[in-house]
């Protein structure tokens, strides 16, 4: 309730009780004096200041937490983005196993970081090049899944502290990354058959045409919120 309406209500109630018009109201004002009016104004002003101060403190705390969240969520998102790119990449450099003799292959295998299961699979494979690429695909897809979950979990735990415009962009890229990961995962499913190549190409295309531009937009939004003075400088 404003100061003017409060004073008006008080006068109205008093006038209704005693009856009267403009002259009576003027007499009341003269009787009660200007000091009383100043006192009421000061009380209302102080209450307004207190409320504004409380709201400002709350907002500052939320912004402080948001600035703490930004670097960590960007770090996790960037890692998820990078590992997904490695998983969906259509180009992979591998040794040419067809040119190795048995001793060379055994030496390479002993120095590799493959698991026992992966080594057994590669050793028994007729087409070692193809099998090794498949092993690398599964490894990359697993890393991408772990990095995505790290980002996804942190985002959901802290989404309440993120402004709506940035949260909307993060939700969209969260869905995009998961969609690309699913396509790549399907491309490794032998039951899919001839569609495996299509899923692999779709994953790479979606990553390049949708995920990458979304990352650029989020980076710009983060910078605008962390360095608002730089944004104002560009607009002037």
Backbone angles phi, psi at 48, to 5 degrees: -65, -40
- Which tokens belong to 205? 């295309």
The residue among 113, 131, 111, 129 whose CA lies nearest residue 121 is 131
The pLDDT value given to residue 154: 96
For residue range 129-186, list pLDDT tens digits in order.
999 999 999 999 999 999 999 999 999 999 888 888 899 999 999 999 999 999 999 9
The pLDDT value given to residue 9: 60
The residue among 83, 67, 218, 217 whose CA lies nearest residue 149 is 83
CA distance 140 to 146: 10
- Which tokens belong to 235? 């607009």
CA distance 49 to 76: 41
- Which tokens belong to 98? 């067809």
The pLDDT value given to residue 228: 67
19: left (phi over 0), alpha (psi -120 to 50) or beta: left
For residue range 33-63, list pLDDT tens digits in order.
566 666 666 676 666 565 555 554 455 555 5
How confident is the model over 196-219, as a mean pLDDT? 94
Total-model pTM:
0.69
Q: Is the pLDDT of residue 24 over 60?
A: no
Residues 58-61: contacts with CB under 8 Å, at least 24 apart: none
The pLDDT value given to residue 56: 46
3-state secondary structure the chain: CCHHHHHHHHHHHHHHHHCCCHHHHHHHHHHHHHHHHHHHHHHHHHHHHHHHHHHHHHHHHHHHHHHHHHHHHHHHHHHHHHHHHHHHCCCCCCCCHHHCCHHHHHHHHHHCCCCHHHHHHHHHCCCHHHHHHHHHHHHHHHHHHHHHHHHHHHHHHHHHHCCHHHHHHHHHHHHHHHHHHHHHHHHCCHHHCCHHHHHHHHHHHHHHHHHHHHHHHHHHHHHHHHCHHHHHHHHC
The pLDDT value given to residue 192: 77
In the chain, % of residues over pLDDT 70: 68
């Amino acid at each position: 309730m404003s100061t003017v309406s409060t004073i008006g209500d008080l006068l109205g109630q008093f006038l209704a009780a005693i009856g009267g018009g403009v002259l009576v109201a003027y007499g009341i004002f003269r009787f009660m004096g200007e000091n009383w009016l100043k006192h009421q104004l000061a009380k209302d002003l102080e209450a307004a200041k207190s409320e504004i101060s409380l709201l400002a403190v709350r907002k500052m705390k939320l912004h402080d937490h948001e600035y703490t969240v930004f670097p960590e969520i960007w770090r996790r998102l960037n890692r998820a983005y990078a590992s997904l790119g490695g998983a969906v990449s259509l180009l992979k450099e591998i040794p040419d196993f067809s040119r190795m003799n048995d001793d060379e292959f055994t030496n390479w295998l002993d120095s590799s970081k493959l698991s026992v299961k992966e080594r057994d699979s590669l050793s028994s494979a007729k087409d070692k090049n193809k099998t090794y690429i498949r092993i690398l695909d599964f490894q990359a897809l697993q890393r991408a899944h772990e990095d995505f979950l790290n980002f996804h979990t942190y985002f959901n735990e802290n989404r309440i502290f993120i402004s709506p415009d940035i949260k909307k962009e993060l939700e969209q890229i969260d869905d995009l990354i998961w969609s690309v990961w699913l396509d790549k995962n399907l491309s490794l499913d032998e039951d899919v058959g001839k569609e495996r190549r299509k899923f692999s190409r779709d994953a790479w295309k979606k990553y390049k045409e949708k995920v990458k531009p979304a990352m650029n937009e989020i980076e710009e939004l983060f910078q605008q919120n962390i360095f608002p003075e730089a944004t104002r400088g560009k607009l002037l």
